[in-house]
Structure 1
Amino acid sequence: MTPLPAESGPGRVGARGRLVAVIGLLDRPLTSYYLVLGCSMLLLALGLTMVLASSNVDQLERTGSAFTLLQKQAAWIGIGLPVMWLASKLPPRTFRALAYPLLLLSVIGLVIVLIPGLGVSAWGATRWIDVGPFQVQPSEPAKLGLVLWGADLMARRERLGQLTDWRALLIPLLPGAGVVVMLVMLGSDLGTTVVLLTIFLTLLWVVGAPVRLFVGMAGLIGLLVAILIVVEPYRMQRLVGFLDSSGDPLGIRYQGNQGLLAVASGGWFGTGLGEGRAQWGFLPRAENDFIFAIIGEQLGLVGTLVVLGLFGLLAYAGLRIARRVRDPFMRLAAAAVTGWLSVQAIVNIGGVIGVLPITGIPLPLVSYGGSAMIPTLAALGMLLAFAQREPGARQALAARGPGPARRALSWLGLARR
């Protein structure tokens, strides 16, 4: 009997069959929907766990309860999840109608932040407004406002066939984005400035801006970021500390060094939840900007790879939505949201592991903070709404049958007949 060649052996066929099955799953109409929903929920659950693991010692000393920040974060998520659900049910025209009011309110908030006595400064930046017991950061909803406004503007221009002229590409998108960026810059928030500029560049890329124009805008933005770094002494110190890892280990390099030490000490599987050293006051702002370092320490390399994988899948789903939807507004908004979340995650993680300068920007869905959480969940809810408008998605949803909420209403006799 002639043996089978290696290429056609049972193991080879089995591996190929599994690969074909996985590719088949990724090609289903609701793949984007379930990827966005699943990755979001997993990152939220991980974030809640790590907020507790990174803040319990500090909060026990300050407030007498190890769960103070966990409870606050859970409250913000409790507000954000209904917002996400509502956004997932809205039609695209509603998002377009919200674009101008949201951007206008964000600009007003950014102006208020700059008024002496009203804006709250911390860690070298003026970003917050005190609203009762809470601090609100207007630059966070400004990201979503710029996404919606820019996508609506470019979609209108595309419908009118005006995108062949570079002036129609840049005006009023460039001045509008410039106003938002300038106000954030005046508050010394470099990390958010980079994200806003990423949204601007993403919109230009998706509408097919000429390469020369795109490269020119990218060069101009690079020059702007360089100027922002040079004119602020503390940013210049951070850049020098980033370039010279051996200098001032107890000063400007302290947070970065402690973050790297925490990640390195985690090994393959980490020290265990709540068993790390960094949570004992060695790592400043561990629950916020440096929560990835706590993940690396307590969950090890495996934990950090899980986080990277979840953000990678989320980016894939966002780009898949942008590629498959037919409406120009949905395509532009989905790509801009994907660029926003991906670059923010890259900048945060890059700062923690020492490959990028520290900018003080949170890790989406994972870091502590409500001002960033609610706009992010609203943006993800919008992606879910767009995913339901991919080819074949409506039919797949109809075939799936009623959801748990509708079934519960049916049991109570309250469902619409």
Structure 2
Amino acid sequence: MVTAKDNRGHLISEPTAEQLEILRAELRQLEEADPKKFSFGHVIVPRSGIWQNELVSAFALGRAQCESASRYLRNPKRELLFAIAQNDTPNAWAISCGEFDAVLITSGFWLKLRKRAAWLVEAMRVRAIKQALPKDSFQASFLNDFANGLQGRLRQLHMILVQTATNYILGHEFGHLASGHLVFATASESAVDKHGFHAIDSAAEGLSKSSMHQAMELDADVQGMAWAKNMIATARPSDESEGVQGTGALLRWIQADPLRVNFVSLTGALLAFGTLGAKGFSIGALYKERSHPPTSLRAKLLVDTQTIATNAARPDLAERNSAYAKEALLAAGLGVAYEFMNKLDKNHPESAQVRTYLEQADFDDLAETTVEEMGLAAPTPKRRRMLDYYVTALALRWQALSPQCAPRARWQPGYTTPWTTINLRQNRR
């Protein structure tokens, strides 16, 4: 690996030209194997003055996270690299490349995420002006404690949410590595050619490859949430970072209350899922041959498991925690609604009419409607039973596969909330 400086002069690691060429060769094989499924674009290492600064900061964040993850590698000689695929479609991948592993996000994910987070923060600001907030809520506490210099703190909150959402996505990809979902490729044997994208071999005969892939995705989601939550809870704010873009005081304020940490973690994850395209789905869609469960189901399951786990660990905070989790859902929904509203053409009569209606709508009603459209609303009892059955079936498949994945684990997964051992129905009672 070689080092370069980002736009602030910090040293950051980057793949060598040889490693990048190996990575690009592996990705070309994936594209050729299934061009409809994989479209990576040009793999880049952004540098100030060549690529827009937004991608430079994305690379600096991703590289720092990969360096943190590298500390846990069982084999210290095996490198974990980060790069960006210049592609407008939001996505991310983890892949085994010869003697190293790589994690990628697309430029489209980063740029769209920043815009979506900006609309969420703007919706918070407008709502504070027009409508009273519940006293014991993240947003009310934030607006009250940072009434002076609010605009600057909103910009800092935007930064933290973007970083947390990105950390969730990167943590998800780290989860594939940590849990052994990917095989070890060698320089002479491509993981793509011999084994497919995930670690599925003849030992899994009799089990649907589609369901295996989906089970791995849910397992990686839990790892991603644990990673993002740990990053926000353990960040070390310093007074030196209190400049215009600094987030020191805001980070200390978030870390002072575990429920604020939960809110930021969940909101970041929901922002990530919204950026990836969370939307409503039918029960029939669950059983189609697909590599990923519906994005909105993954988001809802993540909110459920994290809420249940925190309520079980801290029953004294259960009521507040459930309220904060609902607030995170509504905040994400309101952000999407505001993004849609501001894209409407004021000069077009029909669009202007819709925009006027949305601007006058009750904030909670608007947020709840959007959450329902995104497929994140609480399901009916019948639909809940069917979703529980589906998730339980995937949990059993993961239990069958996990022993053969364990030898491939790049590092030992941290202590997380395992979705396969949470009895959702029992805990909901």
* Higher strand fraction (1 or 2): 2
TM-score, scaled relative to structure 1: 0.25
Q: Which has the higher contact order (CA 8 A, sep 6+)?
A: 1
TM-score, scaled relative to structure 2: 0.24
Whose Rg is larger?
Answer: 1
* Higher helix fraction (1 or 2): 1
